[in-house]
Amino acid sequence: MSNGSPELLNPELSLLAFQRRVLALAQDPHTPLMERLRFLGIVTSNIDELYMLHMAELRRAAVDGQINQQTGEAAETVLATVEREVTDILSQQSQCAQECLREAAKHGVQLIGWDALTVDEQAALRQHYIDEIQRDLMSHNITLSPGYPLPSLPHLGLFVAVIFRDGPNERARLFEHELPHDVPRLLAVPGRTGVLIAIEEVLRANIHSLHPSVIVESTHLFRVTRGGDLHIKEDDKHDLLDAIAYATSQRPLNPAVRVEVERAMPEYVGALILESLRREALGRDMEITVTAVQVVDGLLDLRCLSSLPLPRGGELEFSPLHARTPFANGSSLFAAMREHDLFMQHPFDAFEDTVVRFFQEAAADPHVTEMSATLYRVGNPSPIAEALVAAAAAGKKVFALVELQARFDEEHNVHWARALERAGGQVVYGLKGLKVHAKASLVVRQEGDRQVRYVHIGTGNYNTRSGKAYTDFSLFSTREALATDITDLFASLSGNTDGPLAGVSRPPQGLTRGALAAPFQLLPALLERIEREATNALAGKPASIAIKVNGLADTEVVRALYHAEQAGVQIDLIVRGICTLRPRVTGQSERIRVLSVVGRFLEHSRIYRFGNGGAPEYYIGSSDIRPRNLRRRVELLIPVVDAAQQAQLSHILDCYLNDPSAWELRADGTYEARQQNGPSAQQQFAREAAVPNRTTS
């Protein structure tokens, strides 16, 4: 490249750049206060996940002395840079939390320390502590002496380290206590409306009642993060359901990858905790176990601030979203689908009134004979899973591919897999070596002497909580070509096929009526369409690519986009999070624009538009452009062929590309906020949803 920069951006630093964009929403004084606190909690959760999923891989690569072949960076250098970036993000996050707390005080809500309480308030909280909290505290004496069992420090638990001496001249020792999970982190101060105190402050002030026979010198809060991998033994895979359930129960014993501590904690105490955790990992995972504490100013785990009792329903929250309810009461969703394809944009089109209704109507309809669905993250409770269970119990033929290895949702998915099996449904727990990430469902309905197939395809999970918090698309259709492709998809996943592989669940080798499936078909299909745009540009034909995804990090696709740009193709990319493509580089990617939109709702919808010489092709579906999506998952993109719906997708893309609040990726990997006036894309969609409230009879 002409500027000497690596061809690709570093993926881990790109992920951290996304955390900075989320944090910017919390830092923005124009963001309503309760939403600022929510975004602070999102940053906390995202950094937790970074450590749980990525830090172990980085540490192993650093120990092995690996060099990234795409970026040319040494893993050891990347690891150090990531850790510096995280430290800076956490510092800014703590400062933002203090600003938010000062703002909360203006609205009558205060978080105070023990010394700010009156004598009577201290007495009341002391009694509450003795009656309701102290009895649930388990103490562990941390020692490195041989023969002493090490205390188990649960994942994401908050602990108080107590430094004490048995007598004035005895050596210092250490107890640790985990804060109880069934007590609020922030306790109301009796008799003072809106005034709270952190539970660890109450424990600190009353620790002598817990350890009356020793000399307590100080107390310090710390938090442990453990790796998020599941360890499934190969010989357990004959019974994957039990194996996943067992592995999930063992995840809390994974190696510790991070220890956050209060700044006031003495270095030797942090060192003692670290040594304890490293002894725990002896003989396994030593190379990924944490070796240094992470010092935090202020509160640990800022998610607790979302529980501040601020006044609701006013200026401190985003205005309520008036989502469309597209179907009139008493109308049939199936009748509407028979008239034409239905396209929905969530949460602006109510998820419960569309997707949930689709499953519930099908389960209750006596003419429906079959229901099939892929379930990745369904949550609990789940009206969609409940509808499938009810349908199976009523005698309908129900098939579900329940992806048991949907990270951090394994327990819920195991629960629903067992419930569906008990009700009489056929359940496949996933495919060996692959995750099934496609979002698809198929309903077969007997109508007179023929069977009609009704299809739903989504970009998001069958999860009502996500349906309210994420932007996603749904397409409902009875189109014969699409129904055939989805029927073939489920036949492959269920093993309901003819030939030598009959009865064997497997990924689709390739769909034939327009839909595109990974891991075998989607990547070459995308590369083919990108190359077609390049060919059209060289021939002087209209050539353009516009893609909206959550992540773009597949090297082969990135290089294909570089090639298309050099051929003259205008490329617009809207990438929420990780992006390794380096835009705006002379001679490489001058005509490639990369934007990121971060707003009230988590961006999750995916659109692919290819200019196709003036006859644009549009696709929506589950797949991002990352190696895991294109090579290690079953993903699905489907064509949107209705002219009005194509126009709607074009409008949606234009709103994102012109979003005044968007961030633009620069060639050096940093993002620049536009900071222009006018409604954001999400605000525009919310306004369109509110007036008028469209219904379909």
CA distances from 346 to 320, 322, 460 (A): 15, 12, 9
Q: How far apart are CA 61 and CA 74, in angstroms?
A: 9
How many angstroms separate the CA atoms of 216 and 177, rounded?
A: 14
Q: Using CA atoms, how far apart are residues 633 and 19, in angstroms rounded to an integer?
A: 25
Q: Which helix (H) or strand (E) holds 431?
A: none
Check whether 151 has a pLDDT greater than 80: no
Average pLDDT of the residues in 324-338: 92
Please count the CA atoms within 13 angstroms of the CA of 688 that sit on its side-chain side: 17
Give the C-alpha separation, 210 to 350, whole Å: 51
pLDDT of the residue at 306 = 95
| Chain centroid offset of residue 242 CA | 25
Residue 437 Cα distances to 44, 241, 285, angstroms? 26, 18, 29
pLDDT at 3 over 70: no
> Is 404:413 a contact under the CB 8 Å cutoff?
yes
pLDDT digits (tens, 9 = 90+) for 633-660: 999 999 999 999 999 999 999 999 999 9
What pLDDT shows up at residue 280? Answer: 81
Q: Which residue has the higher pLDDT, 669 or 73?
A: 669
**Phi, psi (deg, nearest 5) at residue 549:** -140, 175
pLDDT at 99: 98
Burial class (CB in 10 A: 0-12, 13-18, 19+), 5: middle
481: amino acid identity, one letter: A
Contact predicate 515/525, CB 8 Å = no
Higher pLDDT, 282 or 671: 671
3-class state of residue 77 by DSSP: helix
Pairing of strands 186-188, 195-198: antiparallel
Just list the catalytic residues.
Answer: 437
Residue pLDDT, tens place only, 553-575: 999 999 999 999 999 999 999 99
Which pTM does this prediction carry? 0.92
In this structure, how many other beta carbons lie within 10 angstroms of the beta carbon of residue 258?
Answer: 21
| pLDDT for 243 | 63
pLDDT tens track for 9-37? 999 999 999 999 999 999 999 999 999 99
Residue from 602, 609, 320, 662 nearest 461 by CA: 602
* Residue located via tokens 């589950």: 622
Q: Six-digit token pair at 576?
A: 């929420």
Hey, what are 431's tokens? 């495919």
CA distance 230 to 250: 8
CB 166 within 8 A of CB 214: yes
Band (177; pLDDT cuts 50, 70, 90): confident
Domains of the chain: 11-307 (3.30.1840.10), 333-509 (3.30.870.10), 522-690 (3.30.870.10)
Confidence grade of residue 60 (pLDDT, cut at 50, 70, 90):
confident
Rounded CA-CA distance 595/606 in Å is 14
What band does 674 get if pLDDT is binned at 50, 70 and 90? very high
| Number of neighbours of residue 294 by Cβ within 10 angstroms | 20
Cα-Cα end-to-end distance for the chain: 57
Residue 249's pLDDT band, with cuts at 50, 70 and 90, is low
Both tokens of residue 599? Answer: 């707003």
- How far apart CA 436 and CA 137 sit, in angstroms, is 42
Burial class (CB in 10 A: 0-12, 13-18, 19+), 566: middle
Q: Which residues pair with 196 in a beta bridge?
A: 111, 188
What's the pLDDT tens digit per position in 346-391?
Answer: 999 999 999 999 999 999 999 999 999 999 999 889 999 999 999 9
Tell me how far apart the alpha carbons of residues 162 and 120 are, in angstroms, rounded to a whole number.
26
Q: Mean of the pLDDT values across residues 652-680?
A: 96
Q: How far apart are CA 560 and CA 556, in angstroms?
A: 6
Whole-angstrom Cα distance, residue 460 to residue 602?
Answer: 11
> Among 216, 182, 189, 219, which Cα is nearest to 204's?
219
Per-residue three-class SS string for 582-638: CCCCCCCCCCEEEEECCCCCEECCCEEEECHHHCCEEEEECCCECHHHHHCEECEEE
Rounded Cα–Cα distance for residues 581 and 328 (Å): 45
Phi, psi of 7 (to 5 degrees): -65, -35
Q: Is 319 helix (H, G, I), strand (E, B) or coil?
A: coil
Cβ distance 226 to 289 under 8 Å? Answer: no
Q: What is the pLDDT of residue 465?
A: 94
pLDDT at 147: 44
Q: How far is CA 279 from the centre of its chain?
A: 32
Beta strand pairing status for 633-634 and 570-575?
unpaired
Please check whether residue 47 is in contact with residue 86, taking contact to mean a CB–CB distance below 8 angstroms: yes
Q: Are 360 and 441 in contact (CB under 8 A)?
A: no
CB within 8 A of 235, min separation 6: which ones? none
Instruction: State the Cα–Cα distance between residues 48 and 52, nearest whole angstrom.
Output: 6
470: how many CB neighbours lie within 10 A of its CB?
Answer: 20
Q: Is 300 helix (H, G, I), strand (E, B) or coil?
A: coil
